[in-house]
Chains A and B, each alone.
Chain A
Amino acid sequence: MPLTRLIKFFASLRLTVVLLGLGIVLIFSGTIAQVHLGLYKAQNEFFRSFIVFWQPDNVAWKIPVLPGGYLLGGLLLLNLVAAHTERFSLTRKKAGIWIIHMGLILLLVGQLLTDMLAHESTLHLRVGEARNYSESERAYELVVSDVTDSKAAQIVAIPERLLQKQGTVSPAALPFSVRVLTYDLNSALTNQAADGYDPVKVTGGRGTDGFWLKSIPRETVMDLRDLPSAIIEIVTPQGSGGTWFVSAYIGTPQSFTWQKHTYELLLRPERFYRPYSLRLEEFKHDVYKGTDVPKNFSSRLLLNRPETGEHREVLIYMNNPLRYAGETFYQASFDPDDQGTVLQVVHNPSWLTPYLACILVGTGLVVQFLSHLVPFLKRRRAP
């Protein structure tokens, strides 16, 4: 029967050993690759992928060299499940093995869920500043806001993944469409002609000041962020409403008027709003006396939630995050002048799985080894 043979194959210990071996090769090469690729890119190419490709410099082709993290993880999971349905019976002797493997399954599934569901952003606050949103570490958004009524601005945000497609976006809240003519995920900008740079040609806004633009590869270093630029056209029912240059380099909104309404354009890090705000009361950066070795970083914040009337102080410091409303806020960084804090905001619904998995596998390993060790020692004691 080919099916039983297939199950046998997937349940085999030989496959386990091969997969673990490939895992070692993958992790080793993925670690070494970080030196050149940076953590983020190496992680995507080696661990968050199905196949790892090798591409020499300056060629168009690439060849698959290794199964990626997703493929190996998936196969190991399959191998584990198959082995348990095919080979193991649930007996007392095998109890340890069962617990270990259940823990491993939980760990793998949990990490897959984390990978799919977890969401990270950062919250940067200066002392005294309050914010009810955090910002994406990588993605940007184009904000078109109708500021005619300064008290009730209408804001439309177009996320980067739509901009990237370079098509036309027609948000319902706007009386016109936005056509993305070019979008560079990362760019370099100068104000004079330079080699490799193209002049920016637009009809309105800051773009007419004379900029030269170059598209550059995305950042791979962990702490550096991309600086995207785009040329967009406002497409009204009556035809083109002009072209604009928006860029992460231009930090202030550019405004234009159409049909007596004033609109503003801004390319900014993508924002995630919350029904509560955090205000930085105090940031502390303690060092050990007589050194510049940091002893502690802490942020004293005021949490304010109008809908529930919640209004209280919270303290976040190293190894002591704030868990609130399904999210966790960590002390991540700070401003060079010690007057601002950067919090990492993580939403991870499966954050508990590694804790449970660790307990399961640890218990399983102890049970399993004791069940071998105790009889062994007894046999030795007996004359």
Chain B
Amino acid sequence: MKKWIPWLTVIVLAGWLLSTLRQPPETGFHTRDFGRLPVLLNGRIQPFDSVARNSLLQIRARQSLDDATADQWLVELMMQPAAADKRPIFRIDNIELLNLLGLPEKQKYYSFNELQPHGDDVDKQAQRIDHIDASDRSVFEQQLMKLYNAMQMYQQLKLTLCPVDSKDLGIELAVYQKLIPDGVAAVRAKEAGKKYDDATLTEFLGFLAAFDDMSKYALPLVVPPLQGAKSRDDWQNLGATLMSLSRGEDLNPATQSYVAMVAAYQNNRPDDFNQALDQYHQWVGQWYPAETAKGVHEAFYNFFQAFYKAIILYVLAFLLAVIALLTFAIAPKASETLRRTAFYLIIFTGLIHTFAIIFRMVLEGRPPVTNLYSSAIFIGWGCVVLGLILERVFAVGLGAAVASFAGFVTLVIAQNLAIDGDTMEMMRAVLDTNFWLATHVVVVTLGYASTFMSGFLAITYILLGLFTPMLIQKIGTGQVELGKILTKMVYAIVCFATLFSFTGTVLGGIWADQSWGRFWGWDPKENGALLIVLWNAIILHARWGGLVRDRGIMNLAVFGNIVTSFSWFGVNMLGIGLHSYGFMEAAFKWLMLFIGTQVAIIILGLLPTKFWKSFEAKKPAPAVKA
């Protein structure tokens, strides 16, 4: 039937995706263009746009404001802080914390001006809490630390491009430059105990104090190292370069451009701002082409939000696949069209998923998995690929349903893991090895993905079997029972999972042997990986030994989800070992919830066959009395 429907659907959705990539030309201040400028923060080159988005994530738990983009907000914060201080952006949910600060409970977001009078209370509490182990902190204490860190970061960002009370940085710079000879002379004279002009000295020292504050606290380093600097990493902040003028150094071209931009913004002159911005873009592009390209590309990556869009498409595909699955007995032709549509749509979404992963890898110069966030994205990718292969081989909609479901869930998990800010942080010394990140980490992550995949397939078996008669319905060209197909799928995936998890685990051991001389150290994360290997081995051996039948294998595979989630997330929550990333309160709640659902499904799976819709039909018909 209608062969063009699947194609049309994909083309329409691709059109939608492309339309989201169109950026209308900017009017007023070109903040979007400003967002592409490269700076150095967290030890890596990134665009202002990433600074803006990641800071907002930590402050507001969103990447933008209701009435401003992240870039617009950051520009305002750095150039006209008084205006930014009025914006309600600090998200506070904890009632205890609100009571402490004496703030009304009905709002969700609070402005810096509202918080500032209580800054001392926050500081005092934070100093106390700082001594408590992160895992021992109460919810209130965690929330307070979060607010404290957000406020610190906010105030540091403010000092990036101008002193707190700056009115017109252009004029101030001119005054300061003119003052330098007399100011320096006054300082020398005072030191030597000679006569000096008190007014000159005070004014000069006032400038220095303001710039010194900037140089000490400003967060991103915005001024690239000049030619002849020792290292390409030798970026400076604006305050430091302004200070250095008093030591007789020349005005850095970057500093000059930034001052021009700030002055234009302060005087509300968009054209001057844009002109200074263009000039600086040209200059930095000429001297720092790699850094500039990184900034532009990462800003595009941020703007694309590929993973977010993939979530939407996966949900759509999942709905199509489920409807296809539920209707194949009633309306086989329509069902096949839907299945095909879902299949194509998942391929398309998978390509976007892949593209975004590769884009990220190139930006970072790293293999795909570098932290928990990227492991979620990669597990999702692995599940989608496995699901697509299953769909291609069996063509019954099951692979598509599970692929899109796994893709959707893992990407949602990733979005929630990204809330802490920068997801492309630099790798600590021992992890700084692309070889092992590319082998051990990738393989073991594929092991997680395939174990989850078999678990998800097993869940469909149990749910379909219990609540529908579908497991014994014949499907596809071969007219094989759906239940039999599912059994084959789960078995095949468990085999893959064994291969990946074993190889990945042993490769991890070899890495450990390479870096600290111990192949196996019983570290929690190692143990977690080993648990997955053993669990998959149990499933295989139990099947070969005839100890379990189809339903038993399904229940074992569902339990594999519990084992994998423990290994992926649970061990990080123990707060011990080399792989621990700190306690994650919220994640713990979700993990428990997930394990609860899996246990419930296993209990359902243990129900005797007479309760299974798919198998009750097999009961022999009652004998008819003669």
Task: Point out residues on A near B: beta carbons under 8 Å.
Answer: 12-14, 16-17, 20-21, 23-24, 27-28, 30-32, 34-35, 39, 42-43, 47, 107, 111, 114, 120, 287-291, 293-297, 318-319, 321, 328, 330, 332, 344, 346, 348, 351, 354-355, 357-358, 361-362, 365-366, 368-369, 372-373, 377, 380
Contact = CB atoms under 8 A, between A and B. Distances in A.
A66 to B, nearest CB: 15
Contacts of A291: 42-43, 426
A332 B40 contact: no
A290 B426 contact: no
Contacts of B428: 293-294
A34 B393 contact: no
Contact of A362 (B436, B502, B571): B502
Given A17-B542, A295-B429, A351-B513, A27 B527 contact: yes
A288 B527 CA distance: 31
Q: Taking chain A's interface residues, is the majority helix, strand, or loop, or is none over half, making it mixed?
A: helix
B506 A357 contact: yes
Please classify the interface of chain B as helix (H, G, I), strand (E, B), loop, or mixed, using the class held by over half of its residues: helix
Interface in B514-533: 514-524, 527-528, 530-531
B519 A111 contact: yes
Which among A354, A357, A380 has the highest number of chain B CB atoms within 10 Å? A354
Interface stretch (B160-168, B493-501, B606-614): B493-501
B522 A43 contact: yes
B433 A39 contact: no
A24 B433 contact: no
B42 A362 contact: no
Nearest to B42: A291
Most central of B42, B522, B523, B524 by chain A CB within 10 Å: B522
Given A289-B235, A295-B432, A373 B545 contact: no
Which 3 residue pairs of A and B lie closest in terms of their CB atoms, listed nearest first? A288-B43, A13-B545, A346-B517
A151 B535 CA distance: 63
Contact of B492 (A296, A351, A357, A373): A373
B530 A27 contact: yes
B135 to A, nearest CB: 10
B94 to A, nearest CB: 27
B544 interface: yes
Contacts of B537: 20
A372 B543 CA distance: 15
Contacts of B351: none
Contact of A27 (B235, B515, B531, B576): B531
A14 B432 contact: no
12 contacts: A20-B541, A24-B563, A288-B42, A289-B234, A289-B235, A291-B42, A318-B433, A321-B517, A330-B516, A365-B502, A368-B495, A372-B495
Contacts of A13: 541-542, 544-545, 547
Given A17-B545, A293-B42, A373-B492, 9 more contacts: A13-B541, A13-B542, A20-B534, A31-B528, A39-B522, A290-B235, A291-B42, A319-B514, A368-B495
Contact of A346 (B41, B221, B518): B518
B545 A14 contact: yes
A35 B576 contact: yes
A39 B541 contact: no
A254 B577 CA distance: 40
B503 A358 contact: yes
B166 to A, nearest CB: 23
B518 A17 contact: no
B534 A23 contact: yes
B393 A377 contact: yes
A296 B429 contact: yes
A319 B545 contact: no
A346 B517 CA distance: 6
Size category of the B interface is 35 or more
Nearest to A345: B517
B105 interface: no
A288 B426 contact: yes
A344 to B, nearest CB: 6
Contacts of B575: 35
A16 B541 contact: yes
Contacts of A377: 393
Contacts of B516: 330, 332, 344
Contacts of A346: 517-518
A35 B577 CA distance: 10
B507 interface: yes
B506 A358 contact: yes
A32 B522 CA distance: 11
B428 to A, nearest CB: 6
A107 B547 CA distance: 27
A168 B78 CA distance: 76
Contacts of A288: 42-44, 233, 426
A372 B521 CA distance: 35
A354 B234 CA distance: 43
B430 interface: yes
B577 A318 contact: no
A229 B579 CA distance: 35
A111 B520 CA distance: 8
Nearest to A27: B527
Contact of A290 (B43, B511, B566): B43
Contacts of B544: 13
Given A39-B576, A291-B43, A30 B542 contact: no
Q: Which of B231, B433, B502, B545 has the most CB of A within 10 A?
A: B502
A351 B516 CA distance: 12
Interface in B424-447: 425-426, 428-430, 432-433, 436
A115 B495 CA distance: 31
Q: Which of A17, A31, A287, A288 has the most CB of B within 10 A?
A: A31
B356 interface: no
A241 B482 CA distance: 89
B79 to A, nearest CB: 22
A289 B43 contact: yes
B398 to A, nearest CB: 15
Nearest to A357: B506
Contacts of B510: 354-355, 358
Given A291-B426, A295-B429, A351-B519, A24 B535 contact: yes
Contact of B517 (A290, A328, A362): A328
Given A289-B235, A294-B428, A377-B393, A321 B576 contact: no
A365 B499 contact: yes
Interface string B403-435: 000000000000000000000011011101100
Most buried by B among A17, A32, A297, A366: A17
B430 to A, nearest CB: 5
Contacts of A35: 574-576
B65 interface: no
Contacts of B517: 120, 321, 328, 330, 344, 346, 348
A291 B219 CA distance: 10
B509 interface: yes
Nearest to A24: B534
B506 A354 contact: yes
Most central of B428, B519, B545 by chain A CB within 10 Å? B519
Nearest to B506: A358
